Amino acid sequence: MASAASRPAQPKGATGVLVLADGTVIWGKGFGVSGAAVGEVCFNTAMTGYQEVMTDPSYAAQIVTFTFPHIGNVGANPEDIESKVEGVVGCVVREDVTQPSNFRSLQGFTEWMAANGKIGLSGVDTRALTRRIRLAGAPNAVIAHDPNGKFDIPALLKRAQEWAGLEGMDLAQVVTRAGQEDWAGADWALGEGYRTMGTGGAEDRPHVVAIDYGAKDNIFRNLVKAGAKVTVVPAKTSLDEILALKPDGVFLSNGPGDPAATGEYAVPVIKGLLDRDIPLFGICLGHQMLALAAGAKTTKMHQGHRGANHPVQRVGEGWGETTGLVEITSMNHGFAVDADTLPPEVEQTHVSLFDGSNCGISIKGKQAFGVQYHPEASPGPQDSFYLFEKFVGMLG
């Protein structure tokens, strides 16, 4: 990977390119939709679940480098979509995308990428790119695809350099749903797809109002599976509007961007819910904003945590015999709660065994907790499902 001073000539047959803001140009074979998109380049270490990654709103304004070399082999299908809103703008992979070989596949990954407006780049040394991110941090870049191989590299470089980056950016209002929704989806079964909760006994279930900052649909399915009735509301729903729904508990969803920026309108609402002792559960961005509401601070990470194999240890006092237990978790975050800023009334409940960063909190005297990882992504595969049962169990 050469610097701007020794920029490589375009190889014959190159139809895709990744231009980093420092002038580095990485050539490859483009696939998916034609065009160009700007974002932050990150990497994900998961071996499976690439379609879920590509449709996770938490990846908005990001270009994902998959460290596993064979991406696209199982194709795509409409059941493995986490959200229909904008997520990843593009992806970088090692090997060319081949024809799918999976009984659930209904479409090739290349065709799915094109149909969903996402740009892909194959034939890249993803190990070298990943090492670069680990050493220098996640860079801003432009990913581009042109079947004719025509690129204006100076213009793409200028676009990458002028992009402000994720720090200070509120993306939750970009990816949130437009209006309120009564969630009806339930669990998935082979041959049946996603089942619905139905109407029988729904009114007897505890009512969870879920604030959508860029939520993954499987979170709502797990809340339903744990016994709740779920109403989903947009990110900027006011405290009065939430209280008017008479929630037994409020869920704070995952989402993209800088938590401090989203917190400008979300934190006052969360503080109001805490003042009224309404049970709260936050995941990822929701966890970070719960921490902000409790008086802590968040920080931009050097490279972030993204993958399906992150070990997290329970360290809080309230876990009884399971204190010290390690969960294998799925993560996707580029910001984190600064554990050194946690006030005395906030207990750290989980920590990353990779770097010791905060992965969970609980607020003393309140029924409010959050985790930095994604229990709905089935890591482990069932290590973290207890969190949904814990939350719904608080609601009576």
Instruction: Give the residue numbers marked as catalytic.
Output: 284, 374, 376
Residue 194 tokens read as 């996603």
- Least Cα distance to 66 among 11, 113, 7 occurs for 113
Element (H, E) at 328: strand 326-337
Q: Express the helix, strand and coil content of the chain in percent, nearest 5 each.
A: 30, 30, 40
Q: How far is 298 from 338, CA to CA, in rounded Å? A: 5
Is the peptide bond prior to 381 cis by the omega test (within 30 degrees of 0)?
A: yes
Element (H, E) at 128: helix 126-136
Residues 6+ apart with CB under 8 A from 352: 305, 310, 311, 312, 358, 359, 372
Classify residue 340 as exposed, middle or buried by CB count within 10 Å of its CB (0-12, 13-18, 19+). exposed
Instruction: Report in angstroms the alpha-carbon separations of 373 from 329, 343, 360, 383.
Output: 6, 21, 8, 12
Residue bearing tokens 């200070």? 168
Give φ, ψ of 336 to 5 degrees.
-145, 155
First to last CA, the chain: 57
Task: Give, as one character, the DSSP assignment of residue 4.
Answer: G
Residue pair 395/208 in contact (Cβ under 8 Å)? The answer is: yes
